[in-house]
Structure 1
Amino acid sequence: MLLENTTKRKTENNREYIYRVIKDNIMTLKLKPGECISEVELGNCLNVSRTPIREAIVRLSEEKLIDVFPQKGSFVSKINLGLVEEAVFLRILCEKKLLEIACNDPNSQELIKELEKNIAYQKIIIDFDEDHHKFFDLDNQFHSLIFEYYNKNNIWKSVKRLATHYDRLRLIDALEITNTPKIFEQHIEIIDTIKNKKLDQIDSLVSSHLSKFKDVITKYIEKYPEYFS
């Protein structure tokens, strides 16, 4: 078993370390939907005992990222489209409201500046066909900047906890590069909406931006049928 991001941080105990490593590898698709989770292999790979591994598996099963079947074993949860829809619903509600706040904010210049810096990095990824994992990270950062600017960090964390199935689907989309140019264009539109106080465009823009995966979901189910429940 080859895992990424396995360097233990100074602030982590074994429980935190194992939980983070397993979750990170699930969210980056290094551990693929439906893949068997071997406690023995994880223990050998991370050089830890099986007790904290089991604790991490229980925690991740509660977060719907691992399915535990008695007598069969533990498996990375397949992408559940019902959970994807719930996450999209929540994000649309939150992000519409935040854009309304930004459009009505006379002091949004610093936010616009940070968003434009993020966009500049996104353009580099696109222009030079760089690592699209990085584009996905920048996409997440773009939206988190708006939450953070208006002191909604805890709401963003709650959204991300609910959005694990949605985010794995988004990552597949990013790596396929199907929607990347459109995502980039819509990010520019979001900045323009804030700059020019285009309140009337918020509903359609946010809904389109967060639901664009629906146009290609059939393609992904056909290409990766083992990834979906």
Structure 2
Amino acid sequence: MSDDTTPRPALPPLDQFSGSLAQKVYMSFRQAILGLTFRPGEIMQKQEICAELGVSRSPVAEAVARLAAEGLVNVVPQAGTFVARLSVEEIREGAFLREALELAAVEIVASTITEEQLVLLRRNLRIQEALMQDGDNAGFYQMDAKMHELILSFTSYKRLAGMAETAWVHVNRARQLILPAPGRIQATLEEHKAIVAALEARDPEAARAATRHHLRQLITFLEPLAEQHPDLFDTRI
């Protein structure tokens, strides 16, 4: 972990996001927390943040309230606002919920998928492979997330992708600590190909098995993190 003299990376600029000013500030904070620009346990210096983003305290306070409701920050009276530490229990729970949603979704999609939808998935895989070969890890994981979003959207359930993303939020934060694990991107791509192959075969059981294997691989990497990074985890029982 960086020492106290190391400058924090800049927050994502507000012009990357759409919506009201408060929404933009919220998205900038959220992205910074998920990407570990704000480290677990770090205090959020609101005055410095206002100056950096060029905003007043009002949209910052509104964004903090939303993040607190998501469990991403803790507001401690008389002490300040702190980025929530990681929790093994929340990671396991999030992985459990995401797996339940995705297995149910992929089973439906395997029976209903259209050729047009398969074209989108194949195109996504080709982009993933190009990004991997270029060494663009951030781009690869953006397309990874997009592939999962596509499959969930193919169910036609409009709220499903949002529910899955909410369940996965603490897992996403933790996995930044292991990226890129040696060989993990190549293995992830092969797991994605297996999922798409099962969908091409319109085989619900194979699709479930491939998705389950893929999601559980990540958890095997995450389980040891609390011991490796005790300063970032809430170890209270």
Same fold at TM > 0.5: yes
Q: Which residue of 1 aligns with 2:81?
A: 74
Aligned positions of 1:40-189 closer than 5 A: 40-105=47-112, 107-130=113-136, 132-189=137-194
How far does residue 61 in structure 1 lie from its aligned partner after superposition?
0.7
Structure 1 residue runs without a partner (length 5+):
none
How far does residue 99 in structure 1 lie from its aligned partner after superposition?
1.7
SS of match in other structure, 1:174: coil
How far does residue 212 in structure 1 lie from its aligned partner after superposition?
1.2
Q: Which residue of 2 aligns with 1:226?
A: 231
> For residues 150 and 5 of structure 1, what CA distance do their matches in structure 2 show?
32
How far does residue 168 in structure 1 lie from its aligned partner after superposition?
1.3
Q: Which residue of 1 aligns with 2:5?
A: none
How far does residue 69 in structure 1 lie from its aligned partner after superposition?
1.8
What residue identity is the alignment partner of 2:123?
Answer: K
Matched-pair contact (CA < 8 Å) for 1:19–1:56: yes
Stretch deviating more after TM superposition (202-211 or 59-68): 202-211
Q: Which residue of 1 aligns with 2:4?
A: none
Call closer, same or farther: CA 1:98–1:122 in 2, change over 3 Å.
same
> For residues 118 and 177 of structure 1, what CA distance do their matches in structure 2 show?
22
CA RMSD of aligned residues (A): 2.1
Aligned positions of 1:207-226 closer than 5 A: 207-226=212-231
TM-score, with structure 2 as normaliser? 0.86
Identical pairs, percent: 22
TM-score, with structure 1 as normaliser? 0.89
Q: Which residue of 1 aligns with 2:22?
A: 15
What residue identity is the alignment partner of 1:90?
Answer: L
Call closer, same or farther: CA 1:10–1:103 in 2, change over 3 Å.
closer
What residue identity is the alignment partner of 1:142?
Answer: M
From 10, 13, 22, the equivalent of 1:3 is 10
